[in-house]
Structure formats: C-alpha cells, structure tokens
Structure 1
Amino acid sequence: MMVETQEHHHGFFSTVVNNEYATLWSLDYDDGHLITVISQDEFSVKLIEQKMSPIFITACMVGGIHWPVTRDAPVIRIGRWSFAFAMPGLLYGLQFPPNCRDAMLGELVMFFEKFAHFEDYREKLTGIPFPLPESEADFWTASRSWIERITHPKLVQYGHCPGKSESSIWNQATGSLRVHRMSTVTHNVAEYILSGALKPTHINIQGMRSRLELDNSDAYTEQIFPSISAFTTVVEAVEMFGMTSKGKTGYVPKQPDMVLVEFLDFKVWTLKGECLINQMKKVLLANWAQGNSSKKHGDESWKESEKQN
C-alpha cells in the first residue's frame, strides 16, 4: 500500500495513498451552519514517523490543506466516494470524483481501518437510505445532521466535546478559519517530529496499561497513536490567545479533555507542558502573519521545513 517513503534526519515521511483530485468541505459549526468548499486539488495521505521512538502522526491533504487522522476521532464512509471526519470543533467532508479508482478507495479504507475510528455507513451495508444521492449539489447540507448523529456520540465516548468550541464562539472564528488553523497545527506537529524537536518528555501517554507500566522503557517500543487532542489543544490555545489579546477575559479555557482510558485498546499520546504549546503557538502565529498556511502547497511545506533543520 505504501507509495513513497522519504528518510529525514529524525524520521520518515511516507505517502500512503494519493489521488489526482478531491474536494474538501468544511461543515461549519457557526450559527448559519455554512458548508464551504475549502480546497479542490490533489489528495494524499501521509504517515510521519520518528526514528528513535514509536511516535507518529497520520494526516490527509487536499492541496495545501492538512488535517489529522487519529484513532480517537471518527471517520465515516457515507457513500461510494464520500467520507466525513469529525473532531472537536471541526467537521469535514471529503468527496472524490465518480470516476476515481476503486483500488485507491480500497487502500484508503484499509488506512482508515488501521489509523482511525472508521465505520462504513453506505446504504448497501446498513440498509439506511441517504438523504440525497452523492451526485446532488446539496448532498452535504442534507447529510449534515445525519453525520452529526453518528459521529458526536463517538467523540463523547473518547472524552471529547463535539460541536463548536467555547473559544471559537467567543472570538467568532469561522469554521473555515479553524480548518486553516488546524492545517497549520498539523503541519507544525509533523515538523516537530521530523526535526526531532518532539521528544518523549513533551508527551503524555494513555492506554490500558498502568502509569507504572507506561513509564517503563518498553512502553516506548510499541506503536503509540496520536490523540486528536494533540492538535485541537493547540488550536484552542491560539484562539484563547486571540481572545485575550482583544480584551475578552470572560472565558477561562478548560484543561484538554483526557481520553477515556477504559474505552481504549490502544495507546495514545497527547502534548504536555505549556512550554511546548507556547513554542508551537509562536510558530503558528508567525506562519499566519506571513501567510504561509495559504501560500505553501502540499508536500513542499514539509520539504522546506526539513531543509531548514
């Protein structure tokens, strides 16, 4: 299934699945429930791994927009060529053209089955008809509430809060803006892994084992999946920074929700330490000020970052 792997100083950057074209939608949680096309471009799936530890992330990309894929955030298939991704504060729709290759879709499903909380809700499997055919222009509008009814309870199961975040409400951030913030966060976490800056001391590990077992060195020899909180926490921190800089001090952010360990049959890592979050926040703010999140395209942003390290 692996297409291409590039070796960097501190990790590996692999293209797992790709397709010539896809459309990425943002199903906003704002009051108008806007549904916006974010990108129409080449699609790919990336696996970014550290050499000296089992830490890794997986991400999807359409053009220059990145978003993470994690075991504690649901991905559902809602048609032959349509998928939905849910995470705290964000809801994505991904759609391939009707002529896309069945082999590519099969590889993508295999990837989601391994690295995401994946379920298939196609009518031929569930017997439940779609609100509208995939080919209809209003497919995502008609399917939105149906997607939320499926994915929101699964997010709650993992200890996450679905829907619009409190910080996003206070600073009136649109869903599309949050998508771009998440894209930049995903890019920067990948950069931290490839550069060697993300170290075991920067993360918390959760799973079915006891804290003592996880603290043992052999706990770092098994695969440890990223939690969606590793990404959403940084988005929340940046939104909170934007609120406080504008004098909106009435909102006190919660600590990141912990994954409900009793539901896990796998281990996940999340970020810890205000130091690392603040470092990443500064990188994000610098990138946004320079417009990097909109100017850099696809793999080139990671390649350029690696050259600088």
Structure 2
Amino acid sequence: MSSSGNMQPSHGSVTEIFKAKNAALLLLDYDEDKSLRFLRHGGFAVNLIMQSWSPVLMVSCMVDELQWPITKDAPVIRIGKRTFAFAMPGILYGLQFPSCCEDEMMDTLERVFMKFACYKQLSQGVAGYSYADTTPNFWSKMRPQIENIAHSTLAGFGIGPGKSPSAVGSQASGLLRAIRTSASTKMVHEAIVSGALKATHIDIQDLRPQQKCGEHEYQSIISQQAFSSICVFNNLVQAVELAWVAANGESHLLKQKFQGNMKDLVGFKIWRLNERGLVAFIEKLI
C-alpha cells in the first residue's frame, strides 16, 4: 500500500491499495454476437482516491492505463480462483490473473472488493468453482451465470442492465464505451485531488434510515465517507453518447430508458454529480 507523492494534500490523496504485476482485461461485449474482446494486458492496480475537505471518495481499477470504477452499486463477481467480473451500465468486464498468482494475493483482492464494491461470488460446490480458470472457452461458458448475477444486481439498484439505451448507431461500440468510461474515471479522479470537484457539483445521499439507529448513532453516520455511485461515471458517458447520437441524426434509434426502483442499496452514503456537476465535466469528454 502506497500513497502518491505528487498530489496536493490540501485537496485530496491517492492510495494504491492493491497491485499485481500481470492481469488480462476482457470485454464481454453486448453486441449481437456477444463477442469476447481482449482489451489490455499488464500491471493491475486498485487506487483509493479521497478528498481532504469532504467525505467524498472513489475507487478505481486499472490495467495498462485503462481504468474503470468500482462502486457500492455495481457488482464485482468472483467467478474462479483467479477470475473476476465487473458489471456496469453498458459494460461487462472479465479480469483474469495468471496461474502464478498465489491464492493469498487473490484473497487479499477479494477483501478489497468486499470493502469497496458490491461484492458477489458464484456459489461453490464440493468441487469448487464451476470451471477451472484455464478451461477452454471459460468466459463463454461462464457468461450466462455472470449475466444472471450482474443484471439482477444492477436492476435491484434501479440501474438498467445490459446494453445502454443510448449506445445506438455510431455509438453502439462496446469498445467506445469502455474508452469513455476510462476517460470519465480519470477525469473524476483528477477533479477530486485537484479541487476541481466542488461541493456545488455533487449530491450526497445517506441510505441508512434514521429510524434504524439511535439519534447519537445517526449523527456519527453523517461524518462517515461517501462512496461514489456508478451513476457518476455512467451519466457522463451517456451524456456524450446522447450528444453524438443527436449530432449524427440517429435519435430515432434510441431505446426506451430503463425505469427501475432502487430497493437493494442500503447501509452507506453515496454521492452523485448533480446537474451543475454534469455541465462542468461534460465538455471535457466530448
């Protein structure tokens, strides 16, 4: 665990909470063929980014400079000894570590995900996981089980699972959404530590009902950290998609937006960008 030394401590800090020398990142695309696309191979890291003057925090993962967030309202699923899946609106990633990675290291990473993400695990029978990580066509065989957990979990948070309704026409590429999600993750990261993310840009919601705890305990909740919502990043990417769809005259291709109700998200505080925050950030992504 190490801290970045080139950030301004008056605004925020970056702490590397996990690191591995090698990992492969795969995109389980939502195209018609449900393609499996190799994205990156290289060093893997998990970073904790905290703002010094507010309860705001975010956690990001990275493989060879491609970044994505982990949040309390998007599932991370352990599907094998050295394999994990990440589900976000419009994106489904697979992360695979080489066989040389020790079990202890993988268990450490699991604990990180348990603390900072919505952690899930495929049921293990007597023989362990459904397939060994080295099984031919492993990801294709595991995809139905991954999607079942990922989509039901996202829907429970009121988030539309599967392909984004704004990813149509010229914006339909899963690779394009992955690149934009990486860009938005980096942008929010930099805004937190530089001070560009202002209190006027965000809304913080406490999702622990006051009636479930005493008055003193409720007051202590207010001072605890606020986790980023996956909506922080998805809303930025979706705004860019919508702008390009409109600019290309493809608005007729847009699908009906998922209308869900949040029913599973409890036990912590989350923060989102409000309208002013979205306007402040969106120009940098277009």
User: What TM-score does the superposition give when structure 1 sets the normalisation length?
Assistant: 0.82
Deviation string for 1:259-281 (max 9, x for gaps)? 726641111111111x4323322
Deviation string for 1:126-170 (max 9, x for gaps)? 458756431134111111111001111111111101000111134
Q: Distance in 1 between matches of 2:255 and 2:266?
A: 26
Cα pair 2:202 2:277 within 8 Å, conserved: no
Cα pair 1:131 1:139 within 8 Å, conserved: no
User: Percent identical across equivalent pairs?
Assistant: 37
Q: Distance in 2 between matches of 1:254 and 1:51?
A: 40
Deviation string for 1:69-123 (max 9, x for gaps)? 0011111111110000111111000000001133321221111111011122263
Q: 1:256 to 1:238 in 2, by over 3 A?
A: farther
Gap regions ≥5 residues in structure 2: none
Calculate the aligned-residue CA RMSD, in Å: 2.6
Q: 2:77: which partner in 1? A: 76
Code of the residue aligned with 2:152 in structure 1: it is P
Cα pair 2:59 2:116 within 8 Å, conserved: yes
Code of the residue aligned with 1:238 in structure 2: it is V
Instruction: Write 1 or 2 for the structure with the bigger share of helix.
Output: 1
Corresponding position: 1:42 with 2:43:
yes
Q: 2:161: which partner in 1? A: 162
Cα pair 2:168 2:245 within 8 Å, conserved: no
Q: 1:160 to 1:51 in 2, by over 3 A?
A: same
Give 3-state SS (helix, strand or coil) of 2:182's partner: helix
Q: 1:283: which partner in 2? A: 284
Q: 2:252: which partner in 1? A: 250
Deviation string for 1:193-250 (max 9, x for gaps)? 0111112221122233579x9xx99876211111100110111001001101112233
Q: Distance in 1 between matches of 2:126 and 2:94?
A: 22
CA apart distance, 1:184: 0.4
Give 3-state SS (helix, strand or coil) of 2:280's partner: helix
Q: Distance in 1 between matches of 2:268 and 2:198?
A: 20
Gap regions ≥5 residues in structure 1: 286-309
Q: 2:238: which partner in 1? A: 236
Code of the residue aligned with 1:189 in structure 2: it is V
Cα pair 2:207 2:268 within 8 Å, conserved: yes
Paired residues, what number? 278
Q: 1:178: which partner in 2? A: 177
User: What TM-score does the superposition give when structure 2 sets the normalisation length?
Assistant: 0.88
Code of the residue aligned with 1:246 in structure 2: it is N
Q: 1:254 to 1:209 in 2, by over 3 A?
A: farther
Q: Distance in 2 between matches of 1:217 and 1:81?
A: 41
Counterparts of residues 147-158 of structure 1 (less than 5 Å): 147-158=146-157
CA apart distance, 1:189: 0.5
Q: 1:278 to 1:255 in 2, by over 3 A?
A: farther
Code of the residue aligned with 2:272 in structure 1: it is T
